Amino acid sequence: MNASEVISDLKRRFPGEPEYLQAVEEVLGSIEDVYNEHPEFEKYNLVERLCIPDRVFMFRVSWVDDSGKVRTNMAYRIQHNNAIGPYKGGVRFHSSVNLSILKFLAFEQTFKNSLTTLAMGGAKGGSDFSPRGKSDMEIMRFCQAYISELWRHIGADTDVPAGDIGVGAREVGYMYGMYKKMARENTGTFTGKGIEFGGSLMRPEATGYGNVYFLLNMLETRGIDIKGKRVAISGSGNVATYTAKKLLSLGAKVITMSDSNGTIYVPEGITEEQLDFIFTLKNVYRGRIREFAEEYGCEYLEGKRPWGCPCDIAMPSATQNEIDGDDADTLLANGCFAVSEGANMPSTPEAVHKFIEARILYAPGKAANAGGVSVSGLEMAQNSQKLSWTAEEVDQRLRGIMKEIHNKCLIYGKQDDGYTNYVKGANIAGFMKVARAMMAQGIL
Ligand code: NDP
């Protein structure tokens, strides 16, 4: 395989899909050498079969808003690869959602799920529907309309959706309810469900906690203690808030959180009481992070991301491409020595290059945020057994999985100078398992 030729060809065939091409380019750049050590991969054209999704569902969703107006949105489900298990990946509701973004997320998910040690393939879905400012009834009607089309294509052993941006416990509940009604079965099918109907303890916490566990593993390689370290977090949703919660319990200082309108900056670190305020603000009142600054009188950086605030560690937990090359320069100039990604592909290729050049600890999302889908996998296991595990048991397994992913990154990502390139490590480890499974199953 010649990675640049493959990319050129994909660019020609899929123009106008920049996020998808960005994700593919990053992975192919890392795996090219290993791939070429296996001529049988090329003979079976594994690379194209791995980059192009198995299938894409694309459809219009119509729903009625509270004023009686009929609204339409575009909706999607990308079933990327099921070589190692049923398709599995979240659903995103955000005005920015398009085919390119969901194809990049489904592609990434395939490698991430491979890293988790569990049997899950890769998928992603969503819609350009924005839940912001919508009533509960509007959200419910939209979720039901989305599932009334999608339900035929998903199932506990076929394709298992979950949450992502704009999709939390409320939306999963509405979607799962409609799915059950249409499919007339009760085997799980969604993860991130409520505890009362098959959800797993620790699933809400899993992505944020898992990212902190991964960070602790990285810090340990350099003998660094997390206590007292200043951590800049972006976002104030599921991943960001549980990352902050775990960090506070370990004595770190969370100095920023944000939303798409701006950033709060608290140099002394937010308190647990203040974090509770953010949980309520975001999950109950569905308010803006600016209201935190009004309540506590801290600095509010309107329209800005957190990366200009001096920190030791950055944990981007909002969205893709939220750290660009200039942000990376600022972080490094301010002494940031670790970046662990809660979001998917939050750093642009230029930023990633700068972090690796600077030899800081840098964990890509597909490794660092894999705790979320890992506990989703554990939710599927509990549903199959018709049992519920304790929070301690799930947390212990989550820690074990994050350690295992870290170990794999060390094995495949160690450079001659001793530096661990976690991007390379995660990509190669994730790729090899999927590649072997695809080879064993023939040309499909
Ligand atoms: P939420 O919807 O709970 O929170 C998203 C947060 O990011 C909000 O604060 C939102 O602000 C902000 N945000 C979203 N889009 C943008 C944007 N374009 N610019 C600036 N800020 C933005 O989502 P999650 O916490 O679940 O997801 C966050 C990230 O983590 C995503 O990249 C997701 O793919 C990834 N992830 C999530 C997992 C999970 O288990 N939930 C698992 C693995 C990865 P606002 O309210 O203003 O929109």
Contacts of 118 (CB under 8 A, 6+ apart): 85, 374, 377, 378, 381, 401
Q: Which of ligand 1's atoms lies nearest the C-alpha of 241?
A: 25
Phi-psi region of 47 (alpha: psi -120 to 50; beta: other; left: phi over 0): alpha
pLDDT at 261: 97
Q: What is the C-alpha separation between 344 and 369, in angstroms, rounded?
A: 8
**Atom 28 of ligand 1, nearest CA residue:** 318
CA angle in degrees (0–180, nearest 5) for 22-28-32 = 160
pLDDT at 336: 98
pLDDT at 150: 98
- Residue 238: what residue type? N
pLDDT at 41: 97
What residues line ligand 1, using a CB cutoff of 6 Å?
Answer: 94, 96, 163-166, 168, 207, 235-240, 259-260, 317-319, 342-344, 369, 372
Torsion of CA 153, 116, 374, 59, to 10 degrees: -20
Counting ligand 1 atoms within 8 A of each CB, the residue from 102, 190, 200, 239 with the most, and so the one to mutate, is 239
Q: Mean pLDDT by 10-residue block, N- to C-terminus, for the chain (444 residues)? A: 96 98 97 97 96 98 98 98 98 98 98 97 98 96 98 98 97 98 95 97 98 98 98 98 98 98 98 98 95 97 98 98 98 98 98 98 98 98 97 98 98 96 98 98 96
pLDDT at 292: 98
SS3 324: coil
pLDDT at 140: 98
Q: What is the pTM of this model?
A: 0.97
124 catalytic per annotation: yes
Tokens 């298992």 correspond to: 160
Q: Could you give the C-alpha distances from 244 to 177, 185, 234, 240, 444, in angstroms and in order?
A: 31, 37, 10, 6, 43
pLDDT at 257: 98
